[in-house]
A and B are shown apart, each in its own frame.
Chain A
Amino acid sequence: MQISFTLNGRPTTVDVEPATLVTELLREQLNLTGTHIGCDTSQCGACVVHLNGLPVKSCTLLAPALDGATLLTIEGLQGAPGSNQMHPMQEAFREHHGLQCGFCTPGMLMTAVALATGKPDLTEAEVRHGLEGNICRCTGYQNIVVSVMAGAAAMNAAKGE
């Protein structure tokens, strides 16, 4: 079947078998390998993308669900358009060393951005609850939480300008 959707701001039309997962479509057909497959059982969150602005696990999403939708993957996350800068949340992860091996990082970033959008006063408890569906097997949560709080502050400061 043919599906059309907006992928990282660009109109995209692809032919897919209905039994195609969005992770497979992104990584194998569209060569966007930034979205990772960790557990493949919707536990770990390495595959989180934004579907119509909401965080979803792309390993548990069928490609036909994309038809007519807007999809944002880690490749589409960026700072000010045309600036060639990283997104404030990515900057915060770099600044605060919010990663060790980096495998979970794309999903952490996508969940963090969704969590922080429109929430200028995120508490540490909210961040920890919000990251419930993202697992870091390096267990480096401390710096991830620090990064998300800093990223949330930076995102909302940038919005307020």
Chain B
Amino acid sequence: MKPFAYHQPDQIPDAAKLLTSIEDSKLVAGGMTLIPTLKQRLASPVALVDLSKLGSLKGITDDGATITIGAMTPHAVVAASELVQTKIPGLAALASMIGDPAVRSRGTIGGSVANNDPAADYPAGVLGLGAIIVTSTREIAADKFFLGLFETALEPGEIITAIRFPVPLKAGYSKFKAPASRYALVGVFVAKFADGVRVAVTGAGPGVFRVPPMEVALSENFDPSAIAAIKIDNDGLTSDIHAEADYRAHLVTVMAKRAVDAALS
């Protein structure tokens, strides 16, 4: 690692100010992506702004029709939360599948969503549930937040403070994980609301995306059989040493069926 200065602000405005006033500074949440990136010298910021002293970013609250998860809440806490397990069990299940126990102790929902890794799990849950990303300056709908490979709608100096999830009637997540990294080769999150179904896919392409034909079919009949014959186009999907685009396209249907099964169980 190259040397860097380290700041631990205890107020959100101070953190935002540090981020905008120091050129080439970076936020660090749990560090589960950033620290490996620093170690490989893929990034060498001059300063890190650590969000861990911002107590207001931690914790999970029940707002009735929604639940709000603070940006610095670790995956292990979401996975073990009785509130999340009761209201959105599919989201608790997703959190329990990220990485391994030690990674889940440190990695945070805000870090995962801000990083927008194309194979990360949380973007599928956030887009699948149509969540709202709450930042230091505004609220952004999930449909407008994820812009592509590691790219989001966040402006320079803007900090995610929480994610607000609408409580669905049913939701489930299923992923086929790359065994070494435990990232999703393909992961599908399915959520059923009173006014329709949302299906979000991670891992398959350069960014998380929805599958409208599956949403229509599942809105009419929320059963795995309703989407068994729906194949997605492999054009634009990822091909790499782990899997060809064809195989990823095939997995989308398989994982979507399993996600519906999980939502129904």
Q: Do A and B bind each other?
A: yes
B36 sits at the interface (CB 8 A): yes
A114–B80 Cα gap in the complex (Å)? 14
Rounded to whole angstroms, the CA-CA distance of A42 and B102 in the bound complex is 9
Q: Is there contact, CB below 8 Å, between B102 and A43? A: no
Residues of chain A with a CB closer than 8 A to B48's CB: 18, 62
**Chain A 121-135 residues near chain B, CB threshold 8 A:** 130, 132-134
Using a CB-CB cutoff of 8 Å, which residues 90-135 of chain A contact chain B? 111, 114-115, 130, 132-134
Q: Report B226-249 residues with CB < 8 Å from chain A CB.
A: none
* B35 adjacent to A62 (CB under 8 Å): yes
A154 to chain B, nearest CB (A): 21
Q: Are B4 and A51 in contact (CB under 8 A)?
A: no
User: Could you say which residues of chain A place their CB within 8 Å of the CB of B52?
Assistant: 65
A/B interface sample: 26 pairs, CB < 8 A: A1-B6, A18-B5, A18-B48, A21-B1, A21-B39, A42-B35, A42-B102, A48-B102, A51-B106, A54-B76, A54-B105, A55-B101, A56-B102, A60-B32, A60-B106, A61-B31, A61-B35, A62-B35, A64-B50, A67-B8, A111-B101, A114-B101, A115-B101, A130-B101, A132-B101, A134-B100
Q: Which residues of B contact A151 (CB under 8 A)?
A: none
Q: Let me know if A42 and B103 touch, CB within 8 A.
A: yes
Chain B neighbourhood of A51, CB < 8 A = 105-106
Q: How far is the CA of A115 from the CA of B76 in the complex (A)?
A: 12
Contact: B6 with A111, CB < 8 Å? no
Can you name the residue of chain A whose Cβ is closest to the Cβ of B38?
A19
In B64-80, which residues have CB < 8 Å from any A CB? 76
CB distance from B49 to the nearest CB of A (A): 12
Which residues of the other chain, B, contact A18 by a CB distance below 8 angstroms?
3-6, 48
Q: Which 8 A-B pairs have the closest CB atoms?
A: A133-B100, A18-B6, A54-B105, A19-B1, A132-B100, A57-B102, A55-B102, A60-B35
Expressed in whole angstroms, the minimum distance between the Cβ of A70 and any Cβ of chain B is 14
> Which of A40, A42, A45, A114 counts the most chain B CB atoms within 10 A?
A42
Interface string of B2-26 (1 = CB under 8 A from A): 1111101000000000000000000
Cβ contact within 8 Å between A56 and B1: no
Asked whether, in the complex, the Cβ of B31 is within 8 Å of the Cβ of A64, the reply is no
A57 to B100, CA, bound (A): 10
- Residues of chain B with a CB closer than 8 A to A111's CB: 101-102
CB distance from B34 to the nearest CB of A (A): 9
